[in-house]
Amino acid sequence: MIDFILGALRGVPAPLATYLVAMLPSLELSVAIPLALEVYHLPVAVAFALAVLGSFTPALVVLMLAPRVVAWLMAHSLLARRLFTWVFDRTRKKFAPKYRRWGDLALLLCVAIPLPLPLSGAWTGALAAFLFDIPARRALPLIGLGLLIAGGIMVAGTLGFVALR
């Protein structure tokens, strides 16, 4: 996987490559920070900042555009209306009790735990906020804080791993 990413980003300046990798769903900080530190040898502060900003960008876009895009699709397509209604109802029914119990902490932890899985990170946090009608004004600071925590974990983990070698 890393060879594919490096091949695709050949010739791209290291800071931009770090930012772009951080924007990718499932990879985000958990790949961007080790890549920036170990492959590109960027300074820690630069790697951290670029990865956090790169991961935050899609969350911002999702929370700003998803409501408009989904509303437009639902208004213009019966199939889209049925699909989104089914997805929203099913997701809310399945996860609403957990969200009611944990509240904003659920969104924060969803982003703050840096797993290279489709169930954590800024993309998932933004989609969850959209699905649960959490206003962007409330969701974006939680996602940002989660990214800062996840970034700190990844920097510490990467530097700790390097020290053990």
How many domains, in total, are found in the chain?
1
**C-alpha torsion sign, points 99, 107, 134, 116:** negative
CB atoms within 10 A of CB 123: 21
User: Residue 63 and residue 84: Cα distance in Å, rounded?
Assistant: 16
CB-based contacts of 58: which residues, under 8 Å, 6+ apart? 23, 25, 122, 123, 126
- pLDDT of 151 > 80? The answer is yes
What's the one-letter identity of residue 110?
A: C
Domain hosting 38: range is 2-164
Per-residue confidence band for 116, with pLDDT thresholds at 50, 70 and 90: low
pTM of this prediction? 0.87
Per-residue confidence band for 165, with pLDDT thresholds at 50, 70 and 90: low
